Structure 1
Amino acid sequence: MTFVQLIDCRTSRFDEMNRLVDTWLEQTGGRRSATHSLIGKDRSDASHFIEIVEFPSYEEAMRTSNLPETDRIFHDMIALCDEMPVFTDLVVVRDEQLYVANVRRYFDVVAARGELPPLDGLLAENYHGHDPANEQDTIGMDAMRREIREWRAGFDFAFTVEDQIAEGDKVCTRWSWKGRHTGEFLGIPPTGREVTTTGTTVFRCGADGKIVEGWWQYDRLGLMEQLGELDVLEV
């Protein structure tokens, strides 16, 4: 279970403290188990800082804490503080990455059976889509809805999210897609074939969580081959 440690401290020597953190990162490289470190400064008190350090588990945090470099840095850090830091140990009981949740919901919604639901809560009105298979970028929510309807008219399909990685305002999703060709698609009459493809999409989200830009990469050539279109070209 993910473990988070909060270090609440006051210091007028933050630059030195910052260099100390860099030293710890350098000296413990390859042996520490911390996965994420964040330092915030109190807007109403320039000497008040909170560091948040994330670990895979409490046990991993203790292993890192017992490194000799960690012990040395700890004592150096106390010397830079105006008063004794306060440590709070937290076991994470809920972790919602809201951009990730919105992107995952997008893949579910576009594949849902029946009429395409409104996408207002998922896509920004000025959505900008990049797909190398298209001659032009997809600009605007209405254009994206038309593109989604083309796929839905041609296939009964579903996405499976294989992996998701989030950093800042971007969410990268590795997905697989499986569908049955039940309607005309790009001028290809329905074949009834079951087809699959895989791809990766990087979405950029706005401050409100809505998707404002997307970069799509997927095996469109393989999809066309499964639909029998490459056989036609070879003949």
Structure 2
Amino acid sequence: MPEIQNVAIMQRFVEEVINQGRLEAADELVHEDFVELDPLPGQQQGRQGLKDVVVMMRTAFPDIQWVIEETIASGDKVVSRFKWSGTHSGDFLGVPATGRKVAVPGVVIDRLSDGKMADSRILMDTLGLMQQLGVIPGPPPA
């Protein structure tokens, strides 16, 4: 069942690489020529580019925790609905630390090949994140 194995790989990536900051695990889980289909500003392609994003996120939000809330797998793709949370304690895309706690929902579509992440498309609530950080105003109270 490749779908079950692919889901397990993605769960391991989230837990070990993102939540625990064990970047060396990415060497086992991500192809060297990994492609981010919707990269963050300045994100380089490849496994190292993905590692660099994880380092940037963990620097900006040292207590970051990703929770996979729902997963659908078909063939070589795994779609995960997630929510990550953390405290903004360092620079994030030019925004200095605010000390604010954030919770950001999103969806990621990962494609795996030979048991490793080959490419990914991550879509998250960046507008909501920027509102939580106070960078842009939120909606008026109802």
Could you tell me the TM-score, scaled by structure 1's length? 0.53
Do the aligned partners of residues 157 and 164 (structure 1) sit closer, same or farther apart at CA in structure 2, a change above 3 Å counting? same
Give aligned pairs, total.
135
Structure 1 residues 119 and 178, CA gap change in structure 2 (3 angstroms): same
Distance (Å, rounded) in 1 between the aligned partners of 2:10 and 2:23: 16
> What are the equivalent positions in structure 2 for 1:191-202 lying under 5 Å apart?
191-202=98-109
Answering whether residue 72 of structure 2 is matched by residue 168 of structure 1, we say: no
Separation in 1, partners of 2:58, 2:42: 20
Tell me the alpha carbon deviations over residues 27-47 of structure 1, each in whole angstroms, 9 at most, x when there is no partner: xxxxxxxxxxxxxxxxxxxxx
Deviations 1:80-135 (A, max 9, x none): xxxxxxxxxxxxxxxx8101100111111233345633411110001001226x35
Q: Which residue of 2 aligns with 1:48?
A: none
Counterparts of 2:88 and 2:95, CA distance in 1: 10
C-alpha offsets along residues 2-53 of structure 1, whole Å, 9 cap, x if unaligned? Answer: xxxxxxxxxxxxxxxxxxxxxxxxxxxxxxxxxxxxxxxxxxxxxxxxxxxx
1:190-232, CA deviations, whole angstroms, 9 ceiling, x for partnerless residues?
11111011000010000x210000011110111011001004x
Match of 1:223 in 2: 129
Contact map agreement 1:128 1:137 (CA 8 A) in 2: no
- The alignment partner of 2:24 has SS state of coil
Counterpart amino acid of 1:131?
Answer: D
Unaligned runs of 5+ in 1: 1-95
Which runs of 5 or more residues in structure 2 are unaligned? 138-142
Instruction: Write out per-residue CA displacement over residues 171-191 of structure 1, whole angstroms, 9 at most, x where no aligned residue.
Output: 000111111111111122211
- SS of the equivalent of 1:177 reads strand
Matched AA of 1:104:
Q
The runs of 4+ residues in structure 1 deviating greater than 4 Å are 135-138
Q: Which amino acid aligns with 2:123?
A: Q
Which of the numbers 139, 144, 149 marks the counterpart of 2:45? 139
In structure 2, what residue type is equivalent to 1:116? L
SS at match of 2:64: strand
Q: Which amino acid aligns with 2:53?
A: E
Aligned to 1:46: none
Q: Which has the larger radius of gyration?
A: 1
* Percent identity between the two aligned chains: 37
Contact 2:34 2:118 in 1 (8 A): yes
Q: 1:130 to 1:139 in 2, by over 3 A?
A: same
Aligned twin of 1:105: 12
Name the TM-score, length of structure 2 as normaliser. Answer: 0.86
Q: Secondary structure at the match of 1:159?
A: strand
